[in-house]
Structure 1
């Protein structure tokens, strides 16, 4: 089922997190049902390199004519903030789902804040984003408190959307499909 019709003119650019493309992830399922969509491809080498991630976003955007809506999850949200601090391409809007807190202590199966700092992730740009954004936050995300995400939304001048207790909004938290993403994209694509 395609949720966007042929009259929609924005291309959706999917910006996954550090795990890149996961088959059962809501971003992958979303991309499969959209008409005008591209995804930032996975990195083969140096997967923690922020510069490589930001350049991958830019390369994809250079392939798109017309308006774009960014749909980022987890570390992909941080990549978008860094991209926006470096580049000035117009973006119609961004859905920024469950950004992690670089100052939090994460579970052992995630990179450490020190490792991310060494690869350029901090400091995180916190100036207002030059496009409208919906910052979706979970009340029980193990990578960021609701208050931390609220502060990011305020700094970026985005609209905070509290999702309730959805964990990190990934397959491990029970999300496969996330139909709300379609509605949030429609809100940004007006």
Structure 2
């Protein structure tokens, strides 16, 4: 079975983030160890992800926030990487101009060409790191299917993601879709509400 390579964003994805939960509960998934997540260097992150892709060809890449941006940039700039598909969750805009974006500015600008692998972009309508309109435009540019989770914040611990079974559902549908490409729209044509289900964080 294809591996699922989970790509964290700025500051990593420690428990109880859904990426940590996914890696711990899925024997076919692993988190990509990106150097110095608090002070990310684009070239170092690209090299770390490229090594993992080369070790595990035909994987599904699942990124969150800056990890989503890293995946999109690599797939549009690095030729020859064998990737089965990409799931981009809550991409962060490195050039949004906010105070929080200073640490990720070197990861901009966002790609402006389509990906050559099946892709899904999962967006929220109240994400402080990227507006929904910008997310929709990015999905169109990348040739990615857009999943609208409604008002889900940055789809992280602060907004209740925590365990997120919906992420695995998206991955499983992508695995099936890449085996039978003709059913792409049918498999990914589910409502965002159905995929937004997540288990509550401990203590909530």
Give the alignment's TM-score, normalised by structure 1: 0.86
Alpha-carbon distance, 1:62 to partner? 1.9
Say if 1:102 and 1:122, in contact at 8 Å, map to a contact too: yes
Partner of 2:182 in structure 1? Answer: none
**After the TM superposition, which residues 1-190 of structure 1 pair with which residues of structure 2 at under 5 Å, given as runs?**
9-44=1-36, 47-65=39-57, 67-84=58-75, 85-106=77-98, 108=99, 110-112=100-102, 115-117=103-105, 119=106, 121-190=107-176
Alpha-carbon distance, 1:46 to partner? 8.0
Q: 1:23-69, CA deviations, whole angstroms, 9 ceiling, x for partnerless residues?
A: 1100110111112122210313883211111111011112215x210
- Structure 1 segments (4+ residues) deviating >4 Å: none
Q: 1:117-176, CA deviations, whole angstroms, 9 ceiling, x for partnerless residues?
A: 4x3x12222211111111000010011110000011000000000001000011111211
Taking CA–CA contacts closer than 8 Å with sequence separation of 6 or more, which of the two structures ends up with the larger relative contact order? 1
The structure whose residues are more often helix, as a share, is 2
Any idea what SS the aligned residue of 1:139 has?
coil
Say if 1:94 and 1:133, in contact at 8 Å, map to a contact too: yes
The separation in 2 between residues aligned to 1:176 and 1:26, in whole angstroms, is: 5
Deviates further, 36-45 or 130-139: 36-45
Count the aligned residue pairs. 175
Give the alignment's TM-score, normalised by structure 2: 0.80
Gaps of 5+ in 2: 177-204
Gaps of 5+ in 1: 1-8
